[in-house]
């Protein structure tokens, strides 16, 4: 308001506030503000607390996603807006990462990068399958299960919700996967759960008999069924890590119903397949890698891969 000289006049005047305001053509609040100060200089207009639109808990989730998944900023923005806070701005997320020293991704040339174990290179068609327990929603009488399949070479994911984790549910999932997957499935890797095998351990340990429902369907479809070694879940670590991502999505949301949970997880899988570049795929999305493989090796596919329609379409 005005010049420092005029502000000094206001501070020195003994006239009533109303009269000074009328004399200088300003509001009474302005007069009171300058009378309450000991100086006449302009102060910074920067807010003391920046409104990032992310709560403390939401910020913690974003930071953990950056640390564990190593997502580029633009991918992190997409995931944050889709599953954590739709109002989050790119600049707010960048400031958050900068405060935690995560604004720059560690590159392959970094001298202190930890060695990362990698899977042997495979062609498309080697599928890891696992089952994830889902939390029971208020409108459900029992919990459901999510069957998850991920292609080792493509990182492409397919999921299906099942009422139980029985052998018949596993068989149904494999049949659906075989029908919808563009790739010719050559091998599947599962753990030793009863839904996948009748191999037993300890004193009764023996080889799988081949009479299990899941094995019978594998044989009928010309698929080799491999099993992880007993008590070695890390063998199936690829799908375990993806299940960890789903756990992060579930932990960051409040779901009102079973349908709400299902819609959110399906949306995340679609986003993952179509838009999220994976470090193991040289920051390309799984669907793009699938198309590249098809262009080079169409013999590995049952049908031409296409972009999937969003879950809301």
The pLDDT of 95-121, averaged and rounded, is 64
Does one domain contain both 67 and 159? no
Nearest 5°: phi and psi at 39?
-125, 175
Q: What is the pLDDT of residues 243-259, one digit of tens each?
A: 888 888 888 778 889 99
Residue whose entry in the numeric block shows the structure tokens 């949301």: 253
Does one domain contain both 152 and 182? yes
Does one domain contain both 60 and 30? no
Retrieve residue 161's tokens. 């919700």
Does one domain contain both 157 and 294? yes
Q: Is residue 213 part of a domain?
A: yes
202 has pLDDT over 70: no
Does one domain contain both 176 and 259? yes
Does one domain contain both 146 and 65? no
Residue whose entry in the numeric block shows the structure tokens 């009479």: 211
Q: Is residue 164 part of a domain?
A: yes
Q: Is residue 238 part of a domain?
A: yes
Does one domain contain both 231 and 193? yes
Query: Structural domain of residue 262, as residue ranges?
Result: 126-300
Does one domain contain both 163 and 274? yes
- pLDDT score, position 115: 47
217 has pLDDT over 90: yes
Interatomic CA distance for residues 249 and 262, integer angstroms: 12
Q: Is residue 107 part of a domain?
A: no
Q: Is residue 21 part of a domain?
A: yes
- pLDDT score, position 220: 96
Do the beta carbons of residue 178 and residue 171 sit within 8 Å?
no
Choice between 267 and 83, residue whose per-residue pLDDT is larger: 267
For the chain, the domain total comes to 3
Q: List the one residue out of 144, 146, 149 whose CA is nearest residue 132.
A: 146
Q: Is residue 199 part of a domain?
A: yes
pTM of the model: 0.65
Does one domain contain both 223 and 178? yes
31-35, 172-176, 191-195, 221-225: range with lowest mean pLDDT: 31-35
Residue 145 vs residues 137, 239, 309: alpha-carbon distances, Å: 12, 15, 24
Q: What is the CATH number of the domain that holds 163?
A: 3.30.420.10
289 has pLDDT over 90: yes
Retrieve residue 237's tokens. 């670590």
Q: Is the dihedral of CA 255, 260, 262, 263 positive or negative?
A: negative
Q: Is residue 251 part of a domain?
A: yes
Q: Is residue 111 part of a domain?
A: no
Does one domain contain both 143 and 261? yes
- pLDDT score, position 21: 85
Do the beta carbons of residue 95 and residue 209 sit within 8 Å?
no
Q: Where are the beta strands (DSSP E) in the chain?
A: 126-133, 145-151, 157-162, 187-190, 224-227
Portion of the chain with pLDDT greater than 70, in percent: 83
Choice between 173 and 83, residue whose per-residue pLDDT is larger: 173
Does one domain contain both 71 and 168? no
Does one domain contain both 11 and 82? no
The pLDDT of 99-108, averaged and rounded, is 73
The angle formed by the CA atoms of residues 253, 285 and 107, to the nearest 5 degrees, is 90
């Amino acid at each position: 308001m005005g010049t420092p000289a005029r502000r000094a006049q206001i501070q020195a005047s003994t006239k009533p506030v109303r009269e000074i305001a009328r004399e200088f053509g300003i509001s009474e609040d302005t007069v009171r503000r300058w009378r309450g100060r000991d100086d006449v200089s302009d102060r910074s207009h920067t807010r003391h607390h920046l409104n990032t639109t992310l709560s403390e808990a939401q910020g913690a989730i974003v930071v953990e996603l950056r640390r564990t998944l190593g997502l580029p900023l633009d991918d992190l923005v997409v995931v944050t807006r889709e599953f954590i806070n739709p109002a989050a701005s790119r600049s707010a997320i960048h400031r958050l990462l900068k405060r935690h020293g995560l604004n720059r991704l560690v590159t392959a040339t970094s001298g202190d990068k930890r060695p990362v174990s990698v899977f042997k290179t495979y062609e498309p068609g080697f599928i890891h399958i696992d089952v994830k327990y889902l939390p029971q929603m208020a409108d459900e009488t029992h919990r459901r299960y999510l069957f998850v399949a991920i292609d080792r070479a493509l990182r492409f994911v397919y999921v299906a919700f099942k009422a139980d984790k029985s052998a018949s549910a596993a068989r149904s999932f494999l049949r659906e996967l075989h029908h919808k997957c563009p790739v010719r499935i050559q091998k599947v890797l599962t753990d030793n759960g009863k839904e996948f095998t009748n191999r037993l351990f300890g004193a009764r340990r023996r080889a799988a008999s081949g009479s299990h429902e899941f094995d019978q369907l594998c044989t009928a479809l010309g698929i080799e069924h491999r099993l992880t070694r007993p008590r070695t879940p890390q063998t199936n670590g690829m799908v375990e890590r993806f299940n960890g991502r789903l756990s992060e999505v579930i932990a960051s949301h409040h779901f009102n119903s079973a349908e709400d949970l299902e819609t959110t997880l399906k949306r995340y899988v679609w986003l993952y397949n179509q838009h999220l570049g994976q470090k193991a795929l040289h920051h390309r999305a799984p669907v793009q890698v699938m198309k590249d493989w098809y262009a080079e090796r169409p013999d590995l596919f049952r049908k031409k891969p296409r972009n999937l329609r969003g879950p809301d379409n």
